[in-house]
């Protein structure tokens, strides 16, 4: 079964090729069949491969497959080679299964769009590239997938290309992530030049052997890779592109900008964890970046009006949790949260998509309201996902994954109370903005009528994801509540475990605080936005409130900062030097010659008098020089 691994990324690529070449001529139904079918096949194959892998693990708990050798230059010989271990397996399963559900949903959501086949072509290309990214055995192939998903993100954010604003958001996403990618590229050069290979496992082994912890090279290499990771995963300071990326169709936001691509940064850090362990300052920076990002974007999420922007900030914030987990060495916890997050965040986006679809592309939550009666299935599934995001205890997957991160942020050897405190404040913010969103959209007065009800192709993914958002957490329960370790046990074949330093006693205390905090968030949301909506409005109207509100609403003014520091100077430079000042030197020479020519040709005026005078004058001067010398 494992030898079919190569088909899993290749099927979506084949779908892309068919749709790109013949999509215009295909009927809508055939387009959907190719677009959804290719990912469905890939999902089925993934499940089969996973079953095979887990029931009869290959020696060393990994499997590699080479399709062909890509390059062979002076010892650099990366292959088109796939590498499957517990880490890439889990990611692959989530990407194909959630990807399939979102494709199914899109087949209805995008039905009336004129770019139907173009949409599925891009989506298939995305899934293929994402799988290459996850399965890559060497960093060069990884980079191919990495840039490939960035491209698809660009194409799909700007999918509705007629609006220049979408084009702007798309380019912003591509360019900002490419800033990170440039850093990562330098990281690859550094690794190759010092360790002589780009193959990930070999690199890790050699790094472990030849570099001492905390020395310059591993720190630089890890920092550069981190640069790429913060770009793709929208973490500080490169987080600004993600809220704007919401310009794309909603299924795109669900697939690319919530469930899969934006977690690629988490993946690469986990994948190269040995390198990061050799670079303690960078690892600490990962944790701090995560903690800061989750707080900053949590505050921003509270102030948004656009339902998708709330979700976007929430995504940034949740990835911040994953970074926090990575930073304290809780690798498996980060991947666990990635998985549950993929379920509930995709579900939230798809639910938001149903609303947007039904309300003529309305994004403003304050124009929604009271939707729970009109869209019951959507309401219940959305509520489940919100509960999971807010980490409502015991009944949601999000509770178990986030709780593990908080616990390890406190108790891991690399953890600290401060990181834990940031996480707990973030948890309060999370349930506050989540239930603010739920109360505003689904409760209260209805401000608009739903014109389109979702069909089965849109509802099935909602229900399946809701099921996963609840049960997905039961494969990993904390030590004090059943101590199930199916997930981490499996992950530990690829990622080292982390030993908590604090005891069971402490775990109980922290657990209870976490529960109180997340329920408290729901309570405050209820208080401010349902019970006494005037209160929050009054708070926001006071002058510090207004200032803070504007500050948070704009995402802590990062856009403004970059605009002033980078974008405008660049445009100014390009504009002022449009005609290339260097050319002035050459045209100057030409101009000088012309000027001399016209001055000298004045003397050639055809007047004999003038010539005679010239001869005389010249003679006098010559004689004068000769005599007087």
Partner 1 sequence: MILLLFIIIPLLGGLFAWLFGRRSDPAARWISLVSLLIEQALVVLLWFRNPAAGIGPGAWFADLHSSWIPQLGISFHLAMDGLSLLMVSLTAFLGIMSVAISWTEIRERVGFFHLNLLFILAGINGVFLSMDLFLFYFFWELMLVPMYFLISIWGHENRTYAAIKFFIFTQLSGLLMLLSILGIYFVHARNTGVYTFDYFRLIGTSMTPAVSFWLMMGFFIAFAVKLPAVPFHTWLPDAHTEAPTAGSVVLAGLLLKTGAYGLIRFLVPLFPAAARSLAPAAMILGVIGILYGAVLAFGQRDLKRLVAYTSVSHMGFVLLGIFAWNDLALQGTVLQMICHGISTGALFMLVGALQERIHTRDMDVMGGMWESIPRMGAVVLFFALASLGLPGLGNFVAEFLVLLGSYKVSVIMTSFAVTGLVFATVYSLWIVQRAFHGEKRREWTISDLSLREMAVMFFMIVSLVWLGLYPRPVIDTARPAITGLMQSATSMEAPAAMANGSGNNGGTASQAVMNSGIRELME
Q: Is 583 in the site for partner 1 (CB under 8 A)?
A: yes
Q: Is 175 in the site for partner 1 (CB under 8 A)?
A: yes
Q: Which is nearer to partner 1, 140 or 296 (CB)?
A: 140
Q: Which is nearer to partner 1, 167 or 280 (CB)?
A: 167
Residue with tokens 């101590």: 483
Q: Which is nearer to partner 1, 152 or 352 (CB)?
A: 152
Q: Is 147 in the site for partner 1 (CB under 8 A)?
A: yes
Among 193, 543, 601, 605, binds partner 1 (CB under 8 A): 193
Interacting stretch for partner 1, rule CB under 8 A, among 291-299, 442-450, 526-534, 573-581?
573-581
Q: Is 216 in the site for partner 1 (CB under 8 A)?
A: no
**Rounded least distance, CB 280 to partner 1, Å:** 23
Helix (H, G, I), strand (E, B) or coil at 196: coil
Residue with tokens 């949301």: 525
- Dist. CA 293–CA 301, nearest whole Å: 12
Interacting stretch for partner 1, rule CB under 8 A, among 96-104, 146-154, 335-343, 351-359?
146-154
Among 30, 179, 425, 516, binds partner 1 (CB under 8 A): 179
- Dist. CA 198–CA 347, nearest whole Å: 37
- Dist. CA 256–CA 467, nearest whole Å: 21
Contacts of partner 1 in 63-122 (CB under 8 A): 68-74, 76, 80
Q: Which is nearer to partner 1, 582 or 626 (CB)?
A: 582
b/e map of 414-441 (b: 16 or more CB within 10 Å)? bbbeebbebbbbbbbbbbbbbbbbbbbb
Distances in whole angstroms, Cα of residue 247 to Cα of each of 12, 242, 439 = 24, 10, 24
- Dist. CA 115–CA 175, nearest whole Å: 24
Q: Is 162 in the site for partner 1 (CB under 8 A)?
A: yes
Q: Please give the sequence-ordered ranges of beta strands (E in DSSP) within 306-350, or none if there are none.
A: none
Among 192, 467, 524, 551, binds partner 1 (CB under 8 A): 192
Q: Please give the sequence-ordered ranges of beta strands (E in DSSP) within 311-415, or none if there are none.
A: none
Residue 492's CB: how many other CB atoms inside 10 A?
A: 16
Q: Is 582 in the site for partner 1 (CB under 8 A)?
A: yes
Residue with tokens 């009271």: 370
Distances in whole angstroms, Cα of residue 115 to Cα of each of 137, 160, 264, 313, 361 = 35, 9, 28, 28, 17
**Rounded least distance, CB 119 to partner 1, Å:** 14
Q: Which is nearer to partner 1, 547 or 573 (CB)?
A: 573
* Residues with Cβ within 8 Å of residue 491, at least 6 apart in sequence: 86, 87, 90, 331, 332, 335, 336
Among 4, 161, 501, 546, binds partner 1 (CB under 8 A): 161
DSSP string, 451-501: -----HHHHHHHHHHHHHHHHGGGGB--TTTT--BHHHHHHTTTS------
Q: Is 140 in the site for partner 1 (CB under 8 A)?
A: yes
Q: Is 570 in the site for partner 1 (CB under 8 A)?
A: yes
**Rounded least distance, CB 70 to partner 1, Å:** 7
Q: Is 627 in the site for partner 1 (CB under 8 A)?
A: no
Q: Which is nearer to partner 1, 486 or 571 (CB)?
A: 571
**Cα angle value 567/572/573 (rounded, 5°):** 100
Q: Is 186 in the site for partner 1 (CB under 8 A)?
A: yes
Residues interacting with partner 1, by CB under 8 A? 20, 24, 68-74, 76, 80, 140, 143-144, 146-148, 151, 154, 158, 161-164, 167, 170-171, 174-175, 178-179, 181-182, 185-186, 188-190, 192-193, 570-571, 573-575, 577-578, 580, 582-583, 585-586
């Amino acid at each position: 079964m494992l030898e079919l691994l190569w088909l899993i990324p290749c099927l979506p690529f084949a779908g892309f090729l068919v749709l790109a070449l013949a999509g215009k001529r295909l009927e809508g139904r055939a387009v959907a069949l190719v677009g959804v079918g290719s990912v469905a096949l890939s999902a089925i194959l993934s499940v089969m491969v996973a079953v095979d892998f887990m029931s009869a693990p290959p020696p060393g708990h990994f499997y590699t497959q080479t399709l062909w050798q890509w390059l062979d230059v002076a010892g650099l010989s990366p292959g088109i080679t796939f590498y499957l271990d517990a880490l890439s397996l889990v990611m692959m399963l989530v990407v194909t299964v959630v990807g399939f559900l979102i494709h199914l949903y899109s087949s209805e959501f995008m039905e009336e769009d004129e770019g139907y086949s173009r949409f599925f072509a891009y989506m298939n290309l995305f899934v293929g590239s994402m799988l290459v990214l996850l399965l890559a055995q060497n960093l060069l192939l990884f980079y191919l997938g990495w840039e490939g998903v960035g491209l698809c993100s660009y194409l799909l954010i700007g999918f509705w290309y007629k609006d220049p604003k979408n084009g702007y958001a798309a380019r912003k996403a591509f360019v900002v992530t490419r800033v990170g990618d440039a850093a990562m590229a330098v990281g690859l050069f550094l690794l190759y030049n010092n360790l002589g290979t780009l193959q990930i496992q070999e690199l890790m082994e050699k790094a472990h052997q030849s570099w001492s912890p905390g020395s310059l090279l591993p720190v630089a290499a890890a920092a550069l890779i981190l640069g790429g990771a913060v770009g793709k995963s929208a973490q500080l300071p490169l987080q600004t592109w993600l809220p704007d990326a919401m310009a794309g169709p909603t299924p795109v936001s669900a697939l690319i900008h919530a469930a899969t691509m934006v977690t690629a940064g988490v993946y690469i850090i986990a994948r190269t964890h040995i390198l990061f362990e050799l670079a303690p300052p960078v690892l600490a920076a990962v944790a701090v970046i995560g903690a800061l990002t989750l707080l900053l974007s949590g505050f921003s999420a509270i102030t948004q009006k656009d339902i998708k922007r709330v979700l976007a900030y929430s995504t940034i914030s949740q990835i911040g949790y994953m970074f926090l987990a990575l930073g304290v060495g809780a690798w498996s916890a980060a991947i666990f949260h990635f998985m549950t997050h993929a379920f509930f965040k995709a579900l939230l986006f798809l639910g938001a998509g149903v609303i947007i679809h039904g309300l003529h592309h309305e994004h403003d939550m304050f124009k929604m309201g009271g939707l729970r009666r009109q869209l019951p299935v959507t309401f219940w599934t959305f509520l489940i996902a919100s509960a999971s995001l807010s980490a409502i205890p015991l009944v949601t997957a999000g509770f178990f994954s986030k709780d593990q991160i908080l616990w390890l942020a406190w108790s891991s050897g690399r953890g600290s109370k401060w990181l834990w405190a940031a996480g707990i404040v973030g948890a309060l913010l999370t349930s506050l903005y989540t239930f603010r969103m739920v109360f505003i959209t689904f409760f209260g007065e209805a401000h608009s009528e739903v014109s389109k009800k979702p069909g089965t192709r849109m509802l099935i993914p909602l229900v399946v994801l809701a099921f996963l958002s609840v049960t997905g957490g039961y494969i990993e329960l904390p030590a004090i509540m059943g101590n199930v370790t199916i997930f981490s046990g499996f992950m530990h074949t690829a990622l080292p475990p982390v030993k908590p330093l604090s005891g069971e006693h402490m775990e109980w205390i922290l657990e209870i605080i976490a529960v109180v905090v997340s329920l408290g968030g729901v309570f405050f949301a209820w208080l401010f936005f349902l019970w006494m909506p005037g209160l929050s409005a009054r708070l926001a109207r006071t002058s510090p409130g207004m200032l803070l509100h504007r500050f948070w609403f704009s995402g802590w003014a990062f856009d403004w900062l970059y605009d002033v520091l980078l974008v405008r100077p660049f445009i100014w430079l390009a504009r002022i030097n449009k005609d290339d000042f260097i050319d002035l030197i050459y045209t100057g020479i030409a101009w000088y010659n012309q000027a001399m020519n016209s001055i000298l040709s004045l003397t050639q005026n055809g007047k004999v008098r003038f010539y005679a005078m010239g001869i005389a004058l010249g003679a006098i001067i010559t004689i004068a020089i000769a005599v007087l010398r």
